[in-house]
């Protein structure tokens, strides 16, 4: 029996050259602030699952009404609204920690984390608790466009009292976000996805989203963080309550 032919030699893939990419001013700022946050803030992380079936139905109905205006509400818009209203009820999350005092802010200004080429910026939606869903969508779109065009004003870049970071559009189920100093909390929003849920004695399929709150444990205890998330969950699972 003839010996089998030797296997052909595998030619190694050409190695990519090593590159040294200087940090941009934006990346240097991000690195400095994230290091500051991790070194100086003792974080607590609390997560909750939120069922969105009612919200999805409301969103679809509203988007049909808004189609003529070319406005399309996102799940994130409902999250922004729910968070802003929840901060009214839980002012310790809308605050800054100082060595001798917790400073509760009078305004509720939501920072919206926006990914862009080479980094991340957090433009600010001012007085978010007083905005309707249409205004939140239009305001958020304007901030995203200005961010990516490099045309943010000073007002649009300053004054945030709480930040939302949303990676749901990338299919991420859950993650922990780093607090944006001098704020005391940030909400990480995951993807809305079909999952098995228990309904009575039956197992059904529902739309579920996981959100995770990172909070400064010097300013916020676990129970306070949990109560805030329970309020956010209540608004999103029963979206009509945001009208009350």
| DSSP track, 152-213 | --HHHHS--SEEEEE-GGGT-----PPP-TTBSEEEEE---EEEEEEETTEEEEEEEEEEEE
Residues forming a β-bridge with 50: 209
Instruction: Report CA 47 to chain centroid distance, whole Å.
Output: 13
CB 190 within 8 A of CB 177: no
- Residue 160: exposure state from Cβ atoms within 10 A (0-12, 13-18, ≥19): buried
Is 217 a known active-site residue? Answer: yes
CA dihedral angle for residue 109, residue 171, residue 59, residue 86, rounded to 10 degrees: -30
CA distance 107 to 111: 12
Nearest Cα to Cα of residue 187 among 76, 31, 53, 28:
76
- Residue 16: exposure state from Cβ atoms within 10 A (0-12, 13-18, ≥19): exposed
CA distance 229 to 176: 15
Catalogue the active-site residues: 217
């Amino acid at each position: 029996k003839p010996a089998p032919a030797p296997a052909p030699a595998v030619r190694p893939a050409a190695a990519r050259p090593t590159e040294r990419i200087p940090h941009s001013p934006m990346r240097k700022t991000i690195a400095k602030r994230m290091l500051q946050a991790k070194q100086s803030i003792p974080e607590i992380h609390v997560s909750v699952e939120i069922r969105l079936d009612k919200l999805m139905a409301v969103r679809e109905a509203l988007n049909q009404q808004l189609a003529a205006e070319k406005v399309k509400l996102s799940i994130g818009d409902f999250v922004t609204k729910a968070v802003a209203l929840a901060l009214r009820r839980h002012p310790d999350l809308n605050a800054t920690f100082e060595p001798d005092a917790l400073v509760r802010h009078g305004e509720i200004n939501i920072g919206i984390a926006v990914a862009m080429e080479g980094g991340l910026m957090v433009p600010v939606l001012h007085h978010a608790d007083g905005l309707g869903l249409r205004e939140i969508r239009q305001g958020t779109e304007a901030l995203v466009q200005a961010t990516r065009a490099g045309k943010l004003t000073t007002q649009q870049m300053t004054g945030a009292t709480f930040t939302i970071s949303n990676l749901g559009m990338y299919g991420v189920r859950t993650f922990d976000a780093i607090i944006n100093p001098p704020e005391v909390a940030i909400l990480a929003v995951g993807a809305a996805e079909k999952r098995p849920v228990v309904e009575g004695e039956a197992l059904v399929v529902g739309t579920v989203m996981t959100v995770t709150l990172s909070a400064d444990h010097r300013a916020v205890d676990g129970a306070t963080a949990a109560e805030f998330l329970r309020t956010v969950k209540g608004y999103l699972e029963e979206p009509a309550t945001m009208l009350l």
